[in-house]
Amino acid sequence: MPQFTDEVTVFESPIDVMYLMHKAFMIHSERTEALADKAQSGGDIQALTEALDGWLAQLLYHARIEDEFMTGPLKDTLLQDGRAPLKENEKEHDELRRQGGALADYVKQGDSASLKSEAASLALAMEDKDHAELMGKVEEVEKAIAAAIGEEQVLARTRRHLYQSVMSFRVTEFDHFENEEAFVLPLVKDQMSDAEELECVRKLLFDDESSDPRWIIDFVAGELEDNERELLNELEKQIQNQSK
């Protein structure tokens, strides 16, 4: 069985496109992590923000479609250790959504994000029940921390925490892809016909609700080698033929 870290030379069934999709996602996430690392020493935060936006959009769409059209119709099974792979897959998707949402919120707060987060935690520890008073204390704590460590240190701390969050998110994504390929894709192949797989793949590669339905497949193709891109092109022809 291939993995997304391997070179993919043939599709044994339509769902094998997942190896290429995972590979494309990981190439992009590793590039995003490199931008986050560079941002720690003053790299372009705008380039990082754009890369993060693209990463989250792709991954969250991918997880939603998988839950509905790939694992949704399948019957779960039990592994030797008692885990149910489809249920575990959904839990991993929920964790990706949680981490992705937290990461997006952190980036939106700008270069003082670490300060806001730390101040909120300290203020909450004061156990005030009045929301207005609590928010006032958050602002007071923010100012106190900023005055104590200085603006440059606030910026450095925020970008350091951002890099750590990006790195953690990539590791979670990597682990999820490995688990999905090992435990979920075999169930897809066992329980779906080729035609059903092809329709599932169409949903994964084309966004029927978007003004640009090709935004996923074009993104994936842009990250692949020429021979892998040709496999993707051949699969698209199969999808088109089935849709006729």
Domains, the chain, with CATH or none:
14-243 (1.20.120)
Residue 102 identity:
A
Question: What are the φ/ψ torsions at residue 236 (nearest 5 degrees)?
Answer: -60, -40
At 96-128, the pLDDT tens digits run: 999 999 888 877 776 554 445 544 454 445 554
pTM of this prediction?
0.82
Query: What is the model's pLDDT at position 46?
Result: 85
Query: What is the model's pLDDT at position 123?
Result: 47
Query: What is the model's pLDDT at position 53?
Result: 93
Q: Please count the residues of the chain.
A: 244
Is the pLDDT reported for residue 133 higher than 70?
A: no
Q: How far apart are CA 87 and CA 84, in angstroms?
A: 5
